[in-house]
Amino acid sequence: MREEIIATIPQDEAEVTLEVALVHDETGDACIELRHLVWGKGLGWYRQKTLRLEARAAHSLLRALGQVRRHLVPRGKAGSNKKVIPFPGVGPSSAETKRRAI
């Protein structure tokens, strides 16, 4: 069995992290392991929980995460993503141009 750490994702608590690993078995098949790691004084990082996803489940999870991505934007920042259509002749650059013309 061979594994490759794909990502280590820090959490809000400094002593907790999420590790994403790609694990290959003897037959060459691959799966994903999501590992909830906790820092223990005198122990270092250790696995609290492991969620193993076969290829089909990993693809389904990726699809689901893509659908909820827009819901994960903090509430205060949701309005900042709105598109604003500028009107011709309105804005700081046009005011500056008018002052120069006078």
CATH of the domain at 20: 3.10.450
Q: How many C-beta atoms surround the C-beta of residue 38 within 10 A?
A: 15
Pairwise pLDDT comparison (94 vs 24), residue with the higher score: 24
For residue 102, pLDDT over 50 is answered with no
79: which 2 tokens? 């309005």
Q: Does 54 map to a domain?
A: yes
pLDDT band at 70 (very low <50, low <70, confident <90, very high): confident
Residue 35 belongs to domain spanning: 1-69
Assess contact for 18 and 36: CB atoms under 8 A.
Answer: yes
CA atoms within 13 A on the CB side of 48: 11
47: which 2 tokens? 């696995």
Q: Does 93 map to a domain?
A: no
Name which of 102, 90, 31 is nearest 61 in CA terms.
31
Q: How many structural domains does the chain have?
A: 1
pLDDT band at 2 (very low <50, low <70, confident <90, very high): very high
Assess contact for 39 and 15: CB atoms under 8 A.
Answer: yes
Q: Does 81 map to a domain?
A: no
Q: Does 88 map to a domain?
A: no
Q: What is the DSSP letter of 59?
A: H
Assess contact for 49 and 35: CB atoms under 8 A.
Answer: yes
Q: Does 47 map to a domain?
A: yes
- Bridge-partner residues for 21, per DSSP? 5, 33
